[in-house]
């Protein structure tokens, strides 16, 4: 699989440095899990970050810090959703499966209208992460943004102007971008969409339902 729309070094660096909100971390971790080239760039950025830290002056730590850190390491990571059986084809990348508690069949969809469904994932409230299910050929309402928006395609594809985004591709939009993505004909499109603030819809109907959908 070739991923054509990759994350920028700027956002990879923010991710490596822990500067992104939880919902954006989820989008970046999921994109990296589907895109070997972004994974390789992230490894390089983390190596540079590690080298920089080694040359920093040391700071004094409260008594017991080392013991507390070692205890956290010994406890291991929190329980994750069980990996799928070998050879099983999954729609959701592992970071998203950990939030859903399983693959696509475990998602609790809620209808949004026009056949579109969404499932909001539970993250810190600085940004909102949602899975979107968009029927093939369906146009999303024309909208602008308040802050950052990252959209990662997990199934199918969508067109945005001249650009086509398919599985693993990440589209990044911000206050300067207004767009109307359209799902490809042929296959329903599933995306992970992360937004910082409410979208700015130009149509009246989307604006009316917006508060109920938390979009």
Chain residues in the site for Zn ion (CB under 5 A): 149, 173
Q: Are 127 and 24 in contact (CB under 8 A)?
A: yes
CB of 169 to Zn ion, least distance (A): 14
Rounded CA gap, 93 and 109, in Å? Answer: 17
Q: Which is nearer to Zn ion, 98 or 149 (CB)?
A: 149
Closest of 103, 135, 100, 130 to residue 118, by C-alpha: 130
CB of 143 to Zn ion, least distance (A): 6
Q: Which is nearer to Zn ion, 98 or 184 (CB)?
A: 184
CB of 179 to Zn ion, least distance (A): 6
CB of 194 to Zn ion, least distance (A): 11
Chain centroid to CA 123:
11
Q: Which is nearer to Zn ion, 9 or 175 (CB)?
A: 175
Instruction: List strand residue ranges (DSSP E) for the chain, in order.
Output: 110-113, 116-121, 128-134, 143-144, 149-155, 157-160, 163-166, 170-173, 182-183, 189-195, 200-201
Q: Which is nearer to Zn ion, 93 or 181 (CB)?
A: 181
Angle between helices 36-54 and 22-34 in degrees, nearest 10: 120
CB of 113 to Zn ion, least distance (A): 17
Q: Which is nearer to Zn ion, 36 or 197 (CB)?
A: 197
């Amino acid at each position: 699989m070739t991923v054509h729309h990759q994350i920028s070094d700027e956002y990879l660096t923010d991710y490596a440095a822990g500067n992104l909100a939880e919902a954006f971390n989820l989008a970046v971790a999921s994109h990296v899990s589907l895109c070997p080239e972004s994974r390789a760039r992230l490894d390089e950025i983390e190596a540079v970050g590690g080298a920089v830290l080694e040359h920093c002056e040391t700071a004094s730590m409260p008594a017991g810090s080392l013991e507390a850190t070692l205890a956290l390491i010994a406890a291991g990571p929190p329980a994750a959703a069980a990996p799928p059986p070998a050879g099983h084809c999954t729609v959701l990348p592992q970071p998203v499966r950990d939030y859903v508690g399983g693959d696509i069949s475990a998602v609790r969809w809620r209808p949004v209208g026009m056949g579109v469904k969404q499932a909001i994932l539970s993250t810190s409230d600085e940004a909102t992460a949602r899975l979107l299910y968009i029927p093939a050929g369906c146009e999303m309402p024309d909208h602008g943004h308040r802050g950052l928006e990252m959209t990662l395609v997990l199934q199918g594809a969508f067109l945005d102007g001249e650009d086509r985004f398919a599985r693993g591709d990440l589209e990044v939009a911000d206050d300067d971008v207004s767009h109307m993505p359209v799902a490809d004909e042929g296959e329903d499109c599933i995306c992970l969409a992360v937004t910082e603030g409410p979208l700015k819809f130009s149509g009246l109907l989307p604006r009316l339902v917006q508060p109920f959908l938390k979009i």
